Amino acid sequence: MSGGDKLDFEIRPNPAPVSAAERAALLADPGFGRVFTDHMVTIRYADGKGWYDARVEARAPIPMDPATAVLHYAQEIFEGLKAYHAGDGGVTLFRPEANAARFTASAQRMAMAQLPEQAFLDSLRHLIEADREWIPAGDDGSLYLRPFMYASEVFLGVRPAAEYLYVLIASPVGSYFAGGVKPVTVWVSPHYTRAAPGGTGAAKCGGNYAASLVAQAEAIEHGCDQVVFLDTVERRYVDELGGMNVFFVYDDGTLVTPPLTGTILPGITRDSVITLAREAGHEVVERPVAFDEWQADAASGRLREVFACGTAAVITPIGRVRFPDGEFAIADGGPGEVSMAIRQRLVDIQRGRTDDPHGWVHRVI
């Protein structure tokens, strides 16, 4: 099974899946990241052997030696994407090749083995085939797919591991923010930064999120939904949110978003929004936005809308901004027209309700 890009997956159906009645009850209100499906995919890697033992099996705990490298040195990366019901009974994914490419880039940055991108894509298809009954019906629901990989070698020592385990699990989800699309309040962290130049900000590694949690907790203490990180060097320019990229919409219709300089995650939603906004006739500029400029433009009314974007939250308007010295609103604090129009176009493409001129929708079933 090793070598080449194409792995053979052994399918071992879960002998004791959740009953249809229990599944229906779980799908009625799945929340986000609380409910999991019957199966998982695992693929192993060892130096000198390559990728082997690709299988779909019952989702179950993974026994781990206490000296497993990931528990000590945090060599771990992940991805997140959603599967949707297509209108005709099929199932689709949105730009999964982009997630596969980002997984490779994250693995490179973290000095990990690189799973062939075809195997990544095949793993998604196999899990969806096994767990398709878990995709929620309805306009908000989707099956969130969580591919991840960690250093599974049993050793203590600071060097890249020689063994890795790739795992894919799935979780039926509703809206990321409770209450659907309503503007959120964000907290601009005065103390904590997320990623320095030359660091791991552009990689989707667990360590970035571990480091962000204290800032996210501070945001919640201040009654905010999400934290905004400023840059590490000057503590002045907006990088991104804890789990989303950010866009600013000005009164002349221009959209501005921080550039990809290696300190922020290159979001697939961010990239899609840039394309869709340009198609809708907006100018889109990738440039640094200073926090003082954000405040001044909100005060003058030149800044009309701000929104966060990512797979989990799609496009979420930012209505208020809080920081240690005060607080301000963006326009009237309500959802902006431009944000909501781009959101609608994006969601319609993702859910197969409209044309897909960029070939972003990938049919799985």
Taking the C-alpha atoms of residue 334 and residue 298, their distance in angstroms, rounded to an integer, is 13
Q: How far is the CB of 50 from ligand PLP (least distance, A)?
A: 28
CB of 129 or CB of 271, closer to ligand PLP: 271
Q: How far is the CB of 180 from ligand PLP (least distance, A)?
A: 18
Q: How far is the CB of 1 from ligand PLP (least distance, A)?
A: 30
204 is catalytic: yes
List the beta bridge partners of residue 317: 307
Q: How far is the CB of 99 from ligand PLP (least distance, A)?
A: 7
Taking the C-alpha atoms of residue 138 and residue 142, their distance in angstroms, rounded to an integer, is 9
Q: How far is the CB of 227 from ligand PLP (least distance, A)?
A: 10
Interacting residues with ligand PLP (CB under 6 A): 80, 240, 243-245, 265, 267-270, 310-311
Integer CA distances (angstroms), 5 to 42, 114, 194, in order: 16, 11, 34
CB of 239 or CB of 297, closer to ligand PLP: 239
Cα dihedral 33, 34, 40, 42 in deg (nearest 10):
60
CB of 17 or CB of 242, closer to ligand PLP: 242
**Active-site residue among 6, 49, 82, 204?**
204
Taking the C-alpha atoms of residue 162 and residue 155, their distance in angstroms, rounded to an integer, is 10
Place of tokens 């019906």: 137
CB of 30 or CB of 267, closer to ligand PLP: 267
H helices present in the chain, as ranges: 20-28, 70-73, 96-109, 117-131, 206-221, 268-279, 291-300, 337-350
List the beta bridge partners of residue 102: none
Burial of 349 (0-12, 13-18, 19+ CB in 10 A): buried
Q: How far is the CB of 267 from ligand PLP (least distance, A)?
A: 3
Nearest to 365 by CA among 4, 84, 20, 119: 84
Written as one letter, the residue type at 10 is E
**DSSP string of 285-321?**
EE---BHHHHHHHHHHT-EEEEEEEETTTEEEEEEEE
Taking the C-alpha atoms of residue 277 and residue 84, their distance in angstroms, rounded to an integer, is 23
DSSP tag of 2 = -
CB of 136 or CB of 310, closer to ligand PLP: 310
CB of 230 or CB of 268, closer to ligand PLP: 268
Our separate counts of H helices and E strands in the chain read 8, 18
Q: How far is the CB of 46 from ligand PLP (least distance, A)?
A: 29
Structure tokens at 211: 């480091």
CB of 50 or CB of 262, closer to ligand PLP: 262
Which sequence positions are flagged as catalytic? 204
